[in-house]
Structure 1
Amino acid sequence: MNDSSISSLLGAAAARTVPVVRTVREERLGDPTPCSGYDVRGLLEHLFDVMVNFEGLARKEPSAFEKEPERLKGDPEWRDRFAGQADRLVAAWAEPGAEEGTTGAMDQPARLVGTIMLLDLTVHGWDLARASGQRFTPDPAGVEVLSGVIDRLAPFARDAGLFGEPKPAAADASRFEVLLAATGRDPGWQPAG
């Protein structure tokens, strides 16, 4: 596996997002996030559901995204379950053939599908960090890859209601801040209060 494989990129993104998830306090689960329409609990549930489905997509299995997933509800060990699912996701994308051919209901190239998972893991990691008052530094290699595909992904994601309208990025914005703005996020978002 080389440094540009989807598995390597997902592993680096998970190494930044999982520690954020592990330190989310229970009392913050109802707090708003920069991801419109999600509180912290809802975003954790969504990201867990996405990881489960994209693990299957790596194996060319059909996806079954849930409208209102409750994969972590009522589980006192939800942080460990989240971390374990991230490990299974990375392992699935490391399997031979995961990046080859097409996968998913839209019959897209497998590497592009893996890149969409990279986008979710990276951007939602930032969302969760911001919402829970933590710092987040994305993997530079992941940001590089995502910056190269965001213009291709953003129009489809906006049409599907997954991204908001792009926000303006400051003239001195980092590549990651430009990426966040392209997804409809305010790179300067802070929790109220």
Structure 2
Amino acid sequence: MDIRDLDRRAGAVLGEVVMQVRTEQLWFPTPCPDWTVRGLLRHVVSQNEGLAAAAQNGSASFRTWNGGRLADNPAGAYRRSNVRVADAFADGGALDRLVEVREFGSFPRRIALTFHQLDCVVHAWDLARAIDVPYNPPPDMLELALTLARRIPDTDANRGPGYAFERGVKVSGTSSDLDQLLGLLGRNPDWVSPLD
């Protein structure tokens, strides 16, 4: 499996949801308690820009990781930032080179892409749920994301406010793989917008 291809496809899957966001939905709440749809889109664009810069330079500034701008075209901003990620990782056999990922530390580029793929899969659900559109990620993307999520420690030392993920949410052992993934990453699979 080429993680670059899987990541490109995950970015495209997220992009399909982003394309469905209407202007009036930008202020809708999301399953991410601190973000509206616009805030979540800005986060995704910022993360893409930070990862692309870090992949090219070994690291990126705090400002780059957090400075994504949507202007009046969030879908266009996402598309451009997603292309930057794909271009930054397009160089052949450089997947073992280290890249600094925000405050989380340095990882081989292949691991950074695996985390990015996980983010794409989960944030696509966040957006889809917020704007009430269907979302069914491809099984191979879901499998890799679930495998990674099971490896992320669920302790107060690395989960909760200020961290990338909330503490896990208990879901039934017979739940779908997507619901298990969401629960592992602190999302309630039954989340319903307060606007409904």
* Band of TM-score, shorter chain: 0.7 to 0.9
Change (3 A) 1:68 1:85: closer
CA distance in 2 between counterparts of 1:92 and 1:182 reads 29
For the residue of structure 1 that corresponds to 2:150, the secondary structure is helix
Q: AA paired with 1:61? A: G
What's the counterpart of residue 69 of structure 2? 71
Of 11, 19, 23 in structure 2, the residue corresponding to residue 22 of structure 1 is 19
CA RMSD in angstroms, aligned pairs only: 2.1
TM-score, normalization: structure 1?
Answer: 0.87
Q: Is the contact made by 2:121 and 2:145 (CA closer than 8 Å) also made in structure 1?
A: no
Q: Does residue 85 of structure 2 align to residue 83 of structure 1?
A: no
Among all aligned residue pairs of Structure 1 and Structure 2, give the percentage whose two residues are the same amino acid: 29
Aligned pairs for 1:1-193 (under 5 A) are 4-66=1-63, 69-72=67-70, 75-104=71-100, 106-155=105-154, 157-158=158-159, 161-192=163-194, 193=196
Aligned residues: 188
- Identify unmatched segments of 5+ residues in structure 2: none
TM-score, normalization: structure 2?
Answer: 0.86
The structural deviation recorded for 1:5 is 1.8
- Deviation beyond 4 Å, 4+ runs, structure 1: none
CA distance in 1 between counterparts of 2:120 and 2:176 reads 19
CA distance in 2 between counterparts of 1:144 and 1:85 reads 25
Change (3 A) 1:34 1:86: same
Q: Is the contact made by 1:12 and 1:139 (CA closer than 8 Å) also made in structure 2?
A: no
